[in-house]
């Protein structure tokens, strides 16, 4: 075991897979010589060469399309989109092409592309470096959507994504790249070294796509969340003294319904939390799923805490971000509801 932050864990996943499988290639803006603006691919070009770690022009649509073509020709591309906020020029290639190629050609053609992209707020990034667009991708048939909340899962899930013959959009919550975040920006940052999930094997292992995890067991209510908010929810439970069970969804699509439903059947109450905006968001799918699976176990309405339905405001980040206070308040509301 080694101590790794999420950046090191993601880099290690690349390294393990590039070493194991010569068909794995990496492309994206600044990923090569420089090693990525967040350093997730640092050192890979020196180790594996310029033909396997490719600095791409600023053209997200081109990066995704080129990766698709490479995948059709037998490579296993890992494409980095520098910020999830910039994924939209590549959206058509993801939705109309990557997601549907296997389907429309009845399995004759497919492209095993992994698209990594840092997402989420809490870094003073304003509206162009803070978005959480995962719900736009979970709505698309044919792709898998993943978001880890810690170094161990990040490495294991990324290896699974690279090995998957299906396309995977892999969201990396950048607020917790360097350490878990409890939702209070006034507190000094903490590192992953004191977190059990900061212990990461140096070699190959996988965390399966399609499995959620109980991040913290509890009895009073279930908080279903993912990414940065896993840590905020745990902190909120500790601060309020509520005996909450926090579920880390980890894979938004395909969804591990059983782990979620088992927890809600046990606690009878459910709060859903995500950073992304609320209206039409992924939380609505979670709420509908829980309502269907657990209706007769529910003791009150399912609650949701999410980003307000506005663009991400630079100056009002901590009023906007579903931080500790908002999640704590959401937990109380769900507990008090008749």
Partner 1 sequence: MISKSRLYIPRPTARPGDEPDFSYLDLSPAGALDKPPIDARTRDIEYLSSGLVRVLDEDHTAKGPWNPGLDPEQLQVALRWMLLNRALDDRMWQIQRQGRISFYMQARGEEAVSIAQGMALRPGDMCFPSYRNQGLYLYRGVSLVDMMCQCLSNTRDMCKGRQLPIMYHSKEGNVFSISGNLATQFPQAVGWAMASAIKGEDHIAATWVGDGSTAEADFHHALTFAAVYQAPVILNVVNNQWAISTFQGTAGGQRRAFAARGLGLGIPGIRVDGNDLLAVYSATLWAADRARRGGGPTLIELVTYRGGAHSTSDDPTKYRPKDEWDAFPLGDPVERLKQHLIHEGHWTEEKHEEMWAELQAEVHAAWKEAQKFGTMTESPWLDPATMFDDVYDEMPAHLESQRRRMLEILSGE
> What's phi and psi for 234, nearest 5 deg?
-65, -40
Provide the token pair at 156.
């294991």
Q: How far is the CB of 200 from partner 1 (least distance, A)?
A: 27
Residues that bind partner 1 (CB under 8 A): 25, 51-52, 54, 56-57, 59, 61-62, 65-75, 77, 89, 92-93, 96-97, 101-110, 141-142, 144, 164-166, 210, 254-255, 257
Q: How far is the CB of 262 from partner 1 (least distance, A)?
A: 15
Helix (H, G, I), strand (E, B) or coil at 323: coil
**Other residues' Cβ atoms within 10 Å of the Cβ of residue 128:** 12
Q: Are 251 and 209 in contact (CB under 8 A)?
A: yes
Show the DSSP H helices in 42-199 as ranges: 44-48, 60-72, 91-92, 101-104, 134-138, 151-163
Of these residues, 14, 129, 195, 231, which one is catalytic? 129
**Other residues' Cβ atoms within 10 Å of the Cβ of residue 318:** 16
Q: Are 290 and 249 in contact (CB under 8 A)?
A: no
- From 131, 120, 23, select the one nearest 73 (Cα to Cα): 23
Hey, CA dihedral for 9, 13, 15, 16, is it positive or negative? positive
Is position 274 annotated as part of the catalytic site? no
Q: Among residues 141 and 336, whose Cβ is nearest to partner 1?
A: 141
Q: How far is the CB of 76 from partner 1 (least distance, A)?
A: 10
Q: How far is the CB of 257 from partner 1 (least distance, A)?
A: 7
Q: Among residues 217 and 254, whose Cβ is nearest to partner 1?
A: 254
Q: Among residues 89 and 300, whose Cβ is nearest to partner 1?
A: 89
Say how far apart CA 82 and CA 245 lie, in whole Å.
Answer: 33
Q: How far is the CB of 63 from partner 1 (least distance, A)?
A: 8
Q: How far is the CB of 73 from partner 1 (least distance, A)?
A: 4
Say how far apart CA 93 and CA 166 lie, in whole Å.
Answer: 15
Q: How far is the CB of 288 from partner 1 (least distance, A)?
A: 12
176-181 contacts, C-beta under 8 A, 24 or more apart: 176/6, 176/149, 176/150, 176/227, 176/228, 176/231, 177/5, 177/6, 177/7, 177/38, 177/118, 178/5, 178/6, 178/7, 179/5, 180/150, 180/231, 181/122, 181/228, 181/231, 181/232
Q: Among residues 29 and 277, whose Cβ is nearest to partner 1?
A: 29
Provide the token pair at 57.
């022009």
User: What count of residues does the chain have?
Assistant: 338
Q: Among residues 100 and 332, whose Cβ is nearest to partner 1?
A: 100
List active site positions: 129
């Amino acid at each position: 075991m080694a101590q790794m932050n999420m950046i090191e864990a993601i880099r290690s996943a690349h390294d393990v897979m590039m070493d194991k499988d010569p068909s794995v290639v990496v492309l994206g803006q600044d990923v090569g010589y420089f090693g990525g603006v967040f350093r997730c691919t640092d050192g890979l070009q020196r180790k594996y060469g310029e033909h396997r770690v490719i600095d791409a022009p600023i053209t997200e649509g081109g990066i995704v399309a080129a990766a698709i073509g490479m995948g059709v020709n037998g490579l296993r591309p890992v494409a980095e989109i520098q910020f999830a906020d910039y994924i939209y020029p590549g959206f058509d290639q993801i939705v109309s092409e990557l997601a549907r190629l296997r389907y429309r050609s009845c399995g004759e053609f497919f492209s095993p592309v992994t698209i990594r992209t840092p997402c989420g707020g809490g870094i003073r990034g304003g509206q162009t470096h803070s978005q959480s667009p995962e719900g736009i991708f979970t709505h698309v048939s044919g792709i898998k959507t993943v978001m880890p909340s810690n170094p161990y899962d990040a490495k294991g899930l990324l290896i699974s994504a690279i090995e998957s013959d299906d396309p995977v959009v892999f969201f990396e919550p950048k607020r917790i790249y360097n350490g878990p975040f409890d939702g209070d920006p006034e507190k000094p940052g903490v590192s992953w070294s004191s977190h059990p999930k900061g212990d990461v094997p140096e070699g190959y292992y996988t965390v399966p796509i399609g499995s959620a995890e109980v991040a913290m067991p509890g009895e009073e209510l279930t908080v279903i969340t993912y990414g940065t908010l896993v840590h905020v929810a745990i902190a909120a439970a500790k601060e309020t003294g509520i005996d909450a069970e926090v579920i880390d969804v980890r894979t938004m699509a395909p969804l591990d319904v059983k782990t979620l439903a088992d927890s809600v059947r046990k606690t009878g109450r459910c709060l859903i939390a995500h950073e992304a905006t609320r209206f039409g968001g992924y939380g609505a799918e979670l709420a509908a799923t829980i309502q269907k699976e657990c209706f007769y176990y529910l003791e009150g309405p399912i609650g949701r805490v999410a980003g307000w339905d506005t663009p991400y405001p630079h100056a009002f980040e901590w009023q906007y971000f579903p931080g500790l206070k908002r999640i704590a308040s959401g937990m109380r509301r769900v507990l008090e509801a008749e």
